[in-house]
Amino acid sequence: MYGRYKVIDEKTWERAMHCKVFRNSIEPSFCVTFEADITNFRRVVKEKKLSFTMAMVYAVCKCANEIEEFRYRFLDGKVVLFDRIDTAFTYLNKDTGLFKVVNVPMKDSMEDYCRLALKTADEQKEYFTGPLGNDVFQCSPMPWVTYTHISHTISGNKDNATPLFDWGKYYEKNGRTVIPVSVQVHHSFVDGLHVGKYAEKLQKYFDEF
């Protein structure tokens, strides 16, 4: 069951030709890694006694939801635009060292989201509850490595346009706390311009949180 969306009329859609060109590419996705300053964000998250990981999931997905291009998907062969995208993230089972994929709907406040996300992740026994829907952003934190680049496994499904978000181990740089953030997107819908807008929006959120 998907959230609310509208079907795009590709005959009048200004991006139709760009979408078609990249949809037919052998690898239609591209990935960008950038550095974000989380000095203020980390401090406030700690003061609020929130899970840093869940707070990051909320932040990256909230900002992505605010950019239309990140909410386009292919659905039953058509191009659709979702009203809202929910979240899916990996969560480590410390007993086995294996991760599970957890689905959590977006909430209006970070506090509400973090509480629900932790509860859902802790209570879920299965590693995978089924194929992920179109209406999620996928997040996969990797807090063990401060990386400068990351790549992802590719399913081979060219119409899988779900953005993937990753972040690595944060570190101190010139007296500030910085973190590598990566986003993989489908070029049929998202260009470098939109990734740039996303990076700017996310940094502003971190600064003003």
pLDDT at 1 > cutoff 70: no
Q: Is residue 182 part of a domain?
A: yes
30 in any annotated domain: no
DSSP conformation class of 12: T
**What CATH number is associated with residue 95?**
3.30.559.10
Instruction: Calculate the CA dihedral of residues 52, 193, 151, 36 and round it to 10 degrees.
Output: -30
Q: Residue 2: what pLDDT?
A: 64
Place of tokens 């070029």: 187
Half-sphere exposure of 132 (CA within 13 A, CB side): 25
Q: What percent of the chain has pLDDT over 90?
A: 91
Looking at the domain assignment, is residue 197 inside a domain?
Answer: yes
pLDDT at 3: 72
Chain centroid to Cα 188, Å, comes to 17
Write down the residue that tokens 């010139």 correspond to: 174
Q: Has residue 90 got a pLDDT over 60?
A: yes
The whole-number average pLDDT for the span 110-124 is 97
> Residue 130 — very low, low, confident or very high, per pLDDT cuts 50/70/90?
confident
Find the mean pLDDT for residues 149-160. Answer: 89
Classify 110 in phi/psi space as left (phi over 0), alpha (psi -120 to 50) or beta.
alpha
What's the confidence (pLDDT) of residue 132?
87
Is there a domain that residue 66 lies in?
yes
Alpha carbons 2 and 10: distance in angstroms, whole number: 21
The answer as to whether 31 is a domain residue is no
Res 123: pLDDT: 96
Average pLDDT of the chain is 96
- CA-derived radius of gyration, the chain: 17
Structural domain boundaries, residue 179: 5-25+36-208
CA 181 – CA 146 distance, rounded (Å):
10
Tell me the average pLDDT across 82-93: 97
Does residue 116 register a pLDDT over 60? yes
- 126 located within any domain: yes
Q: What domain count does the chain have?
A: 1
Residue 165 lies in a domain: yes
Residue 94, pLDDT > 70, answer yes
Q: Which pTM does this prediction carry? A: 0.95
23 pLDDT tier (thresholds 50, 70, 90): very high
Predicted confidence at residue 155, as pLDDT, reads 83
